């Protein structure tokens, strides 16, 4: 069965492919729907907020209970100085508007990476926030793995640590209408230890809101997301930035939802848009029963990650 997103304004026709795991014999008749969103942020905060509002309204129209927005959904500045100067505290005007939007649409929002102002005036923090349908900020995760890459052969230098303060806490999964959500951001997906920690803390859904570069996205995006889903036996939801943001920055896109069996069940390709997927927690339970990885883990030979995360 294929569920296709309807076309609206400039939104892409996004393809939703329901997972067919006959061996699991899962019914998806009354499961919650979630929306994974894809957008092209710029340095214009107002333009970005309107894009988020449109995506959330579309998610609401399709009966999703949660909309997942990508990293840098508030803005993607043209340079590091502006990225820091434009940052706001989480009680500032931009987050206030997001909270009002969640309350107005009666939806939960996962805002996958807003620029949070910090005491160090030369830096910001990359913060993934969850807002419930009452407009309350219920969780904040600050990115712990910063993307630093300097290739002297090509002259490409991308150093997130130049202007971002790394987080120092793994946040406990958040209970939501779709299940227990583990919070992370983009580059975090390359570190499976974090995903295992979140699973051991009770996560049923892992989130990787991203602004993946075009080159690395083409090579690694899907395989990393599917690997995180398969090895943790969680749903993976990865909202994404897409397209050209400015003269220096292009993002890969391909926002997707992966089920615990590793099947891509919803995806946007290379345009702004929304894809909707059912979250069936019984699939999580059945995959973990038929493939009982945790019972076979040799923690006698290598350390369990649970104590470090609790």
Q: Check if the beta carbon of residue 142 is closer than 8 Å to that of residue 127.
A: yes
CB-based burial, 58-85: b 16+ in 10 Å, e otherwise: bbbebebbbbbbbbbbbbbbeebeebbe
Q: Pick the catalytic residue: 14, 65, 143, 180?
A: 143
Bridge partners, residue 3, by sequence: 16
Handedness of CA 260, 181, 186, 212 (dihedral sign): positive
Per the DSSP assignment, residues forming a β-bridge with 20 are: none
180 is an active site residue: no
Q: Is residue 309 among the annotated active site residues?
A: no
Please say if 14 is a catalytic residue. no
Kindly give the residue spans of alpha helices, DSSP state H, lying in the chain.
45-61, 80-85, 93-105, 192-200, 214-232, 281-290, 293-296, 306-309
Catalytic annotation, pick one of 71, 105, 160, 278? 71
What's the residue count for the chain?
310
Please pick, among 37, 73, 186, 234, the residue that the annotation labels catalytic: 186
Q: Whose CA is closest to 62, among 37, 35, 102, 27?
A: 35
Residues identified as active-site: 71, 143, 186
């Amino acid at each position: 069965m294929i569920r296709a997103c309807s076309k609206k304004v400039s939104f892409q026709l996004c393809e939703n492919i329901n997972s067919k795991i006959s061996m699991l014999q899962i019914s998806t008749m009354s499961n919650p729907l979630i929306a994974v969103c894809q957008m092209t942020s710029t340095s214009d905060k107002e333009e970005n907020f309107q894009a988020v509002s449109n995506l959330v309204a579309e998610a609401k129209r399709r009966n999703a209970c949660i909309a997942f927005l990508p990293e840098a959904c508030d803005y993607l500045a043209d340079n590091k100085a502006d990225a820091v100067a434009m940052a706001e505290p989480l009680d500032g005007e931009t987050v206030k508007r997001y909270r009002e939007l969640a309350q107005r649409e009666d939806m939960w929002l996962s805002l996958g990476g807003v620029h949070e102002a910090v005491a160090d005036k030369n830096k910001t923090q990359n913060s993934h926030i969850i807002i419930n349908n009452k407009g309350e900020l219920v969780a904040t995760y600050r990115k712990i793995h910063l993307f630093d890459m300097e290739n002297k052969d090509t002259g490409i230098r991308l150093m997130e640590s130049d202007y971002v303060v790394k987080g120092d806490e793994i946040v406990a999964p958040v209970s939501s209408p779709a299940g227990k959500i583990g919070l992370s951001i983009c580059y975090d997906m390359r570190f499976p230890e974090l995903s295992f920690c979140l699973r051991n803390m009770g996560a049923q859904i892992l989130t990787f809101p991203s602004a993946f570069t075009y080159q690395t996205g083409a090579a690694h995006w899907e395989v990393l997301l599917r690997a995180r889903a398969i090895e943790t036996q969680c749903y993976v939801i990865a909202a994404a930035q897409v397209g050209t943001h400015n003269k220096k920055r292009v993002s890969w896109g391909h926002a997707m939802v992966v089920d615990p069996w590793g099947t891509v069940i919803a995806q946007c390709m290379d345009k702004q848009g929304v894809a909707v997927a059912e979250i069936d927690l019984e699939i999580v339970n059945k995959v973990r029963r038929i493939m009982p990885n945790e019972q076979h883990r040799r923690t006698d030979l290598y350390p369990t990650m649970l104590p470090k995360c609790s």
